[in-house]
Amino acid sequence: MDPGEFDQRVELLERRETGRDGAGEPIIDLVEIARPWAKVTYPGGKEFLSNDGTDATRRAVFRLYARPVDVSMKLRLRGLEYDIQDVRPFDDVVEIHAVAKAPGAP
């Protein structure tokens, strides 16, 4: 893998307890845990009908240097949050398959 292909800065996010509300319940927020460089490819998008109209999703494949990643985390690229669907570790990189709801979609 050519290091020059890792040209997109992404945010790796994890759900963490950031405090307690007035009733003592935990407040869970997405917290940035890393900002690695990644190679991003877009294998295609998909539109489908839902109960309230048409939703648009965008699929992306992120490759980053090997680090602990699991499906409970999220990725953010240029303000768009991606839900991690699958993580595939290779020798020196981890390949992450993720889906985001397109901006402007209901």
Which pLDDT tens digit goes with each residue over 26-48? 998 999 999 999 999 988 666 55
What's the alpha-carbon Rg for the chain, to the nearest Å? 16
Model pTM score: 0.79
Q: Which pLDDT score, from 0 to 100, does residue 101 have? A: 82
In sequence order, which residues have a C-beta less than 8 Å from that of residue 38 and are 6 or more positions away?
Answer: 6, 8, 9, 10, 62, 63, 64, 77
Q: What is the mean pLDDT of the chain?
A: 86
**3-state secondary structure at position 4:** helix
